[in-house]
Amino acid sequence: MKISDQVSNFLPVEDEIKHPFSLKIIGAVAVSHLLNDLVQAALPSIYPMLKNTYNLNFTEIGAITLTFQLTASFLQPAVGIYTDKKPLPRLLPIGMVCALLGVIFFSLTTTFIGLLLSSALIGIASSAFHPEASRVARMASGGRFGFAQSTFQVGGNFGTALGPLVAAAVIIPFGQKYFAWLILFTLLAIYILSKVSVWYKDHLYVLKIKPRRRTAIQYSKSKIVSAFIVLGILLFSKYIYMSSITSYYTFYLIERFHLSIPESQAYLFVFLFSVALGTFLGGPIGDKIGRKLVIWVSVLGAAPFTLLLPYASLPWTVVLSVLIGLVMSSAFAAIVVYAQELVPSKVGLVAGIFFGLMFGISGLGAAILGMVADSYSISFVYTICSYLPLIGIITCLLPNVEVDKPDVLKIDS
């Protein structure tokens, strides 16, 4: 029996030809990720200002995050599915134009609905950016998939860390209209991604003219589905907790330790910087010791620190938040590459699913935690969230992709 068309749909297109490692391209998509996520991170960083300006409650604050996150969440898998079949290099700079429009609209709007619409535009930009940029990083990896994915991801983490600083320095002292300064970052990202899209297009042309070596599915459908379910639950644990920090950490510090907004923003930067560092370390470590072990440590290993955080003094709160950021952030790059190794022919779909889950879970988490904070308190939010990393125990259910003998599909030629 010949290899069927159904089987050929699962063949690893990007991995059929070993392309040379390109640090220049990986660096370009990482910098673009930094710029994209800096714009995103500036939005929650000015929540205290928006809360006062528009007299918002925590539920409405959560709704802004939910709008942004769900827009990105629902669209990213769709983008991944489509671009697996028909890659769209120009989607990278075109998608960033949506972020540009979102920034402009946000700086001009004077209504809560306008804030929601602006957030949606920024979310659409993320949905176009992440699956395709993740694919480009993998294509330029030269087989060093963990390094490429973590470098790409750490760009976003540094952008997320810089967002509060930019907000504290430029937006909060002068007002909402100064959000327009972020136009400069979006324009730079559009320029860089236009150059990356040219390389991407040429790279696809090489794939078309070179002969391809096709290989069969390695893992059974049931094993892949069960592994994806476990990974989804782990992402739920990780990003509900991370949402409590990124959306409400400044409020927690202000309420519990009576800090000013700029002081709370500085502590948020410290946490987000630790997240960036942990993300960068997680990918290469996963290449060396195995991604399952990294996932184990990064999710379950954060539990002792999260359980202590609600009861800590201010200095220990800072120390524990840094440890949480370092440990917990190393998971995402490992999870994405682990999933791509299970289904290597669906790189865009896998990236879209997991980036989409990240945004969707974070958005839902922010909305739900906002309602909890309104009903109880911010401190109560951190108490109940502290138990979430214990879910990491289910990592034991994941197959060991580095050492397991795969369920090879037998095909007669």
CATH number, residue 302: 1.20.1250.20
Q: In the predicted model, what is the mean pLDDT of the chain?
A: 82
Number of separate domains in the chain? 1
Banded model confidence at residue 149, pLDDT cuts 50, 70, 90: confident
pLDDT of residue 239 exceeding 50, the answer is yes
For 86, what's the count of Cα atoms within 13 Å in the CB-facing half-sphere?
3
114 vs 286, which has greater pLDDT? 114
- Domain membership of residue 165 (yes or no) is yes
Structure tokens at 18: 């070993």
pLDDT tens digits along 32-51 = 999 999 998 888 888 888 88
Residue with tokens 């979102």: 102
User: Does 5 reside within a domain?
Assistant: no
For residue 7, is it within any domain?
Answer: no
Banded model confidence at residue 322, pLDDT cuts 50, 70, 90? very high
pTM above 0.75, yes or no: no
Highest mean pLDDT pick, 72-86, 114-128, 397-411:
114-128
The mean-pLDDT minimum among 99-108, 213-222, 275-284 falls in 213-222
Lowest-pLDDT choice from 92-101, 196-205, 346-355: 346-355
Say if 86 falls within a structural domain. Answer: yes
Determine, yes or no, domain membership for 303: yes
Instruction: Report if residue 74 sits inside a domain.
Output: yes
Structure tokens at 224: 């892949």
In a domain, 50, yes or no: yes
Q: Stretch 287-300: mean pLDDT, rounded?
A: 84
More confident of the two residues 198 and 77 = 198
pLDDT tens digit sequence for 154-207? 888 788 878 888 888 889 888 899 999 999 999 999 999 999 999 998 877 555
Confidence of residue 218 (pLDDT cuts 50, 70, 90): low
> 54: domain range?
14-397
* Helix 347-375 × helix 378-385 angle, to 10°: 130
Contact 71, 194 (CB under 8 A): no
In 279-298, which positions are buried (b, 16+ CB within 10 angstroms) versus exposed (e)?
Answer: bbbbbbbbbeebbbbbbbbb
